[in-house]
Structure 1
Amino acid sequence: MSRHRTLVLFLLLSVAWGTAFVAIRAGLEYFPPVLFAALRYDIAAVFMLGYAFYATDYPVPRTRGEWGLVAIGGVFLIAAYHALLFVGQQSITSAMAAVIVSLSPVLTTAFARVWLPSERLAPAGLLGMALGLVGVVILSRPDPGNVLSADVVATGLILVATAAFALGSVLLERSDAELPIETMEGWSMALGALLMHALSLAMPGESVAAIEWSAEAMLALAYLGIVSSALGFLLYFELLGTIGPIEINLVSYVAPVVAAIAGWLLLGEAIEPATVVGFAVIFVGFCLIKRRRLAAELPAIRTAIGDRL
């Protein structure tokens, strides 16, 4: 894959995932949050499973270990992450939610150290993890006299959602089972959607009758299901095999910029100074944790820039 095509796909993925936060925020005006998330992945699962049957020779898991991969993906990466994200995003801006989610690479490193105790973080890495949490505190701006304010609770929910996604990613890496990524994602989306439907049925105020159907509601749902989920994950898969996990993590730091701009343009959401500062602190923490891998990529980056100049 040429560098130019890689850059275009990277930017497309950043837009697909960054604007997802805006589509969620817009759609929450019309849908109960958990039901909204479940419907999103009903649509995404249909597209992804269809693609798995088309693109792979192994579209259905067969062994207990392979279904274990699906269970991890469905429970942690789809159901827990998105149910908490959608509930939390009722109270905070698209940009703020995207910035909290950008903590995912930092939390993934933390969980990896727990599950792989032989790999210890150097002091700089520990500082990076601490900075990530400081960034979240800056974002939530907790009031000592009202620690259960809507912003603080919403921030906590999205932080737990991000932790669930990070934990799920580490558990997938630890598994010895193998499965085509399209197959794993497709069945995980289907399982996650089923779990969120079950959760939605158990929650007050969550019913199909509560949906306010409109053109805007349908547009938000279709965009999330098709563009941000199905198309977004296909872009992710292709880039993951080309540029690797470290570089693909940088999407987490471009997406908040996209979310902030799109939220401002489409929803009139203000870009608050605390959001910018919190994002910067989290990004510095990420750079400290990944400093060796980032340094190893600098020669290739310099070469690429030199070739273009």
Structure 2
Amino acid sequence: MLRHRLAVVLVTALAPAVWGTTYLVTTELLPPHRPLLAAVLRCLPAGLLLIALTRRLPQGTWWWRALILGALNIGAFQALLFIAAYRLPGGIAATVGAVQPLITAGLSAAVLGDRLTLRTVLSGIAGVAGVSLLVLRAGAKLDALGLAAALGGAVVMAVGVVLSKRWVSPAPLLATTGWQLTAGGLLLVPATLLTEGAPPTHYTAANLLGYAYLCLIGAAVTYALWFRGLRALTPTSVSFLALLSPVVATVIGWLALGQDLSPLQAFGALVVLGSLVVAQTRRPGTTGPSAPVARSAAAPPVREHA
């Protein structure tokens, strides 16, 4: 049982680890100043591809549930992330976003009845502190709208994660993932056109390679792994894994781009990893929020009507 859970955690962790490569791909391969276009071309084709492969469309209540989950997990999150990235230094945006596991833990307790423990709260605080040491820079300027967007992004993602656990789709995992990516991508299209204008008419081979990587690996594969983890683990456990993204982004920047990595940043990375390990473990013999099997047995999913 523990070995199986560890395998699920490690496979799920691949998703935020891959997302940590997004900064490198965006800066080195994609056209500049087109973050929302990158989000659309990352999510919408991936969602349509998964729908084409599974040949499954939503039925009954899942038409509006897929739209809500796609808006929260993909569309609204990406848009708020874009606003925060443009109005805040990256370190502040990442630090504010690191509160997501704490928000998820609180929402899980309120909505799903999961137990909110002191261990989880302390791990969440340590995660925020570790990310701040890793990416925060002295003299960074604050912006009210940017801070609100960063916090809003953490909130909508937390709500999306919790609702994804509450609303268990009867359809195959890849189909459900495709619905959300498609819904989120479609919602991003008007925002992209309003803020960035029409897309470029010419793309280089590097641009196409970057978009293909973000679409196939950075969306189709990773979101399938992410939602698969949500089916097996608690929302809080999965949310803590998202803290891997700034760690991976910092390490890649150091290795591939020659960016500085100070001892304080290295210590921050260790703090983040420590908080992840603590958040994923539980005391022997306890059954808390990390017991999804027992929960599903006690509360079987409601049948959906076509």
TM norm structure 1: 0.70
Q: How does 1:159-238 map to 2 (within 5 A)?
A: 159-175=151-167, 178-203=170-195, 206-209=196-199, 213-236=203-226
Do the aligned partners of 2:95 and 2:128 also contact (CA within 8 Å) in 1? no
Q: 1 CA distance for matches of 2:244 and 2:30?
A: 23
Q: 2 CA distance for matches of 1:36 and 1:182?
A: 22
Q: Deviations over 1:262-308 (max 9, x none)?
A: 233444443355654544444555555555269979xxxxxxxxxxx
| Pairing partner for 1:68 from 60, 64, 80 | 64
**Residue 147 (1) aligns with residue 142 (2):** yes
% of aligned pairs identical? Answer: 25
Do the aligned partners of 1:38 and 1:193 also contact (CA within 8 Å) in 2? yes
Do the aligned partners of 1:128 and 1:286 also contact (CA within 8 Å) in 2? yes
Match for residue 297 of structure 2? Answer: none
Q: 2 CA distance for matches of 1:249 and 1:296?
A: 21
TM norm structure 2: 0.70
Q: 1 CA distance for matches of 2:155 and 2:109?
A: 14
Match for residue 301 of structure 1? Answer: none
Do the aligned partners of 1:52 and 1:182 also contact (CA within 8 Å) in 2? yes
Change (3 A) 1:156 1:255: same
Match for residue 121 of structure 1? Answer: 116
Change (3 A) 1:296 1:87: same
Match for residue 110 of structure 1? Answer: 106
Match for residue 302 of structure 1? Answer: none
Change (3 A) 1:274 1:103: farther
Q: CA deviation at 1:48?
A: 1.6
Q: CA deviation at 1:12?
A: 5.6
Q: How does 1:1-309 map to 2 (within 5 A)?
A: 13=15, 16-26=18-28, 29-53=31-55, 59-63=56-60, 65-89=61-85, 103-116=99-112, 119=114, 121-135=116-130, 138=133, 139-141=135-137, 143=139, 146-148=141-143, 157-175=149-167, 178-203=170-195, 206-209=196-199, 213-236=203-226, 244-245=233-234, 251-271=241-261, 275-286=265-276, 291-292=281-282
Equivalenced residues, count: 282
Do the aligned partners of 1:33 and 1:87 also contact (CA within 8 Å) in 2? no
Q: 1 CA distance for matches of 2:32 and 2:285?
A: 46
Do the aligned partners of 1:127 and 1:288 also contact (CA within 8 Å) in 2? no
Q: SS at the partner of 2:214? A: helix
Mind listing any 5+ residue stretches in structure 2 that lack a counterpart?
Answer: 288-306
Query: Greater helix share, 1 or 2?
Result: 1
Give RMSD over aligned pairs: 4.2
Mind listing any 5+ residue stretches in structure 1 that lack a counterpart?
Answer: 54-58, 298-309
Do the aligned partners of 2:98 and 2:243 also contact (CA within 8 Å) in 1? yes
Q: CA deviation at 1:188?
A: 1.4
Q: CA deviation at 1:162?
A: 3.0
